[in-house]
């Protein structure tokens, strides 16, 4: 039994003046003048806000050096652990370094870690996942057992092992986080591919003699994009935190360079005395992660044609 989803636009107005095509069946009207995905994204204020936040974050990452009022390692022991004031908006840390400047200057590193590691995990994981889910058979078994092995290690332990082997540094950190997140993407992609691969439209594509890579790119990937987008926006936030954990253990970004995660872990000992040391880098992570999530939500809606029709109909009203 199907109930009408009231969130959908009215499905069947027989518009006067529109030639009724064959079947005379109820047809939703075609949205007049389709908007591009970007223009549609721009109609959602929440998505726009998220995009603006991310633009600011990127600008800070690129121009941080000129924006930050102090240097990242300008030690001023006399003014250590000062609360937020006119001179130090976000206060100072235990060495008297300006927290605002460090938050700004850490943006680049944190963003780089998040984007590079998640991109790596996405590309490798999704490729493994859809190939696995689409081909099935022995390849699927082999790939998935590999993924299981990776899952069996605690995330941090695996990252630690990788960093230990390759030596600490920004690049290794990004690689380690990327490798650790790969199996998650592989699993999500495989599970969604399994359900999409049996859809008649995928079978229809195969009966035409379509090569597998074409079917995968044209039919499978777009139809599993919903869960992948959600997973990506979650992972971006978690990658920033993973970097913090690695830095805390002295294996991530090396001191004295700041990263949001590193600042959080350094602030741990001063939670009672200097709340600003942890709150501001924490806020930076929170706002960035939230922006990624909201932008992801908006993109998922716009990329789904059904949701698009709803958005377009809402706009017209």
Partner 1 sequence: MSPETADGPVIEVTDLRVAIGRREIVHGVSFALHRGQTLGLVGESGSGKSMTVLAATGLLDAPASRVTGSSVLRGAGTTQLVGASPRTLRAVHGNEIGFVFQDPSTSLNPLLTLGRQITEPLEVHRHLTRRAARSRALELLTAVGIPDPETRLDGYPHQLSGGQRQRVMIAVALACDPLMLVADEPTTALDVTTQAQIIELVRDLQERTGTAVVWISHDLGVIGQVADDVVVLREGAAVEQAPILDVVDRPRHPYTRELLAARPVLGHPGPAPADADTPVLLRAEELDVHFPVTTPTGRSTVHAVDHVSFAVRRGCTLGIVGESGSGKSTIANVLTGLVRASSGSVHLEDTDVLAARGSALRALRRRIAMVFQDPFSSLDPRVRVDGAIGEPLRVHRLAARHGGRDARVRELLDLVGLPEAFASRYPHELSGGQRQRVSIARALALDPEVVILDESTASLDVSIQAKVLDLLADLQRELGLTYLFIAHDLAVVQQMSHDVLVMQHGRTVEQRPAAALFEAPEADYTRRLLAAIPPARPRVAG
Q: Nearest-CA neighbor of 266 among 99, 41, 125, 109?
A: 99
Residues near partner 1 (CB under 8 A), total: 43
Contact segment (CB under 8 A) with partner 1 among 78-86, 88-96, 213-221, 237-245 equals 213-221
Would you call 316 helix, strand, or coil by DSSP? helix
Give whichever of 25 and 38 is closer to partner 1, judged by the CB atom.
25
Residue 208 CB, shortest distance to partner 1, in Å, is 4
Per CB under 8 A, contacts with partner 1 among 285-304 are 303-304
Element (H, E) at 269: none
CB of 136 to partner 1, least distance (A): 14
Q: How far is the CB of 72 from partner 1 (least distance, A)?
A: 46
Find the angle CA(286)-CA(291)-CA(293) to the nearest 5 degrees. 95
Options 88, 97, 219, 262; binder of partner 1; rule CB under 8 A: 219
Q: Is 12 in the site for partner 1 (CB under 8 A)?
A: yes
Residue 227 interacts with partner 1 (CB under 8 A)?
Answer: no
Contact (CB, 8 A) for 108 and 164: no
Residue 13's region, left for phi above 0, alpha for psi from -120 to 50, else beta, is: beta
Task: Show contacts of 218-221: CB within 8 Å, 24+ apart.
Answer: 220/130, 220/134, 220/193, 220/196, 221/126, 221/130
Question: Rounded to a whole number, what is the largest CA-CA distance in the chain?
Answer: 83
* Residue 175: C-alpha distances to residues 1, 127, 233, 304 (Å): 49, 17, 18, 32
CB of 11 to partner 1, least distance (A): 8
45, 66, 207, 272: which one binds partner 1 (CB under 8 A) = 207
- The CA-to-CA distance between both ends of the chain, in Å, stands at 30
Q: CA-CA distance, 244 to 141, in Å (whole number)?
A: 34
Q: Which residue, 27 or 249, has its beta carbon nearer to partner 1?
A: 27
Q: Which is nearer to partner 1, 221 or 249 (by Cβ)?
A: 221
Place of tokens 């069946």: 25
Q: Select 126 or 253, whichever has its Cβ closest to partner 1.
A: 126
Quick note: the x/- pattern for partner 1 over 91-130, rule CB under 8 A, is ----------------------------------------
From the list 223, 254, 287, 290, which residue makes contact with partner 1 (rule: CB under 8 A)?
A: 223
Q: What is the DSSP letter of 36?
A: P
Q: Provide the binding-site residues for partner 1, judged by CB under 8 A.
A: 1-6, 10-12, 19, 21-23, 25-28, 30, 34, 199-211, 214, 218-219, 222-223, 303-306, 308-309
């Amino acid at each position: 039994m199907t109930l009408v989803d009231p969130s959908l636009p009215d499905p069947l107005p027989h518009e006067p003046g529109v030639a009724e095509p064959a079947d005379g069946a109820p047809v939703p009207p075609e949205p007049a003048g389709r908007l591009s995905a970007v223009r549609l994204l721009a109609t959602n204020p929440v998505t726009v806000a998220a995009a603006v936040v991310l633009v600011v974050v990127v600008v800070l990452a690129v121009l941080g050096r000129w924006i930050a009022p102090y240097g990242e390692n300008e030690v001023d022991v006399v003014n250590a652990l000062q609360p937020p004031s006119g001179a130090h908006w976000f206060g100072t840390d235990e060495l008297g370094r300006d927290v605002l400047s460090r938050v700004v200057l850490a943006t680049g590193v944190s963003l780089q870690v998040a984007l590079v590691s998640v991109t790596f995990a996405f590309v490798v994981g999704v490729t493994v996942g859809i190939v696995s889910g689409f081909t099935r058979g022995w390849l699927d078994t082999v790939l998935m057992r590999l993924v299981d092995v990776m899952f069996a290690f605690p995330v941090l332990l695996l990252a630690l092992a990788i960093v230990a082997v390759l030596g600490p540094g920004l690049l290794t950190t990004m690689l380690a986080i990327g490798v650790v997140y790969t199996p998650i993407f592989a699993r999500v992609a495989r599970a969604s591919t399994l359900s999409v691969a049996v859809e008649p439209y995928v079978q229809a594509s195969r009966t035409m003699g379509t090569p597998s890579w074409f079917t995968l790119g044209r039919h499978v990937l777009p139809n599993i994009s919903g869960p992948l987008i959600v997973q990506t926006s979650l992972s971006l936030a978690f990658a920033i935190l993973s970097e913090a954990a690695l830095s805390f253990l002295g294996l991530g970004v090396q001191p004295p360079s700041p990263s949001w995660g590193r600042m959080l872990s350094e602030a741990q000992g001063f939670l009672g005395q200097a709340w600003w040391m942890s709150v501001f880098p924490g806020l930076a992570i929170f706002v960035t992660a939230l922006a990624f999530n909201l932008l992801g939500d908006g993109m998922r809606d716009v990329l789904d044609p059904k949701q698009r029709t709803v958005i377009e109909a809402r706009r017209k009203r």
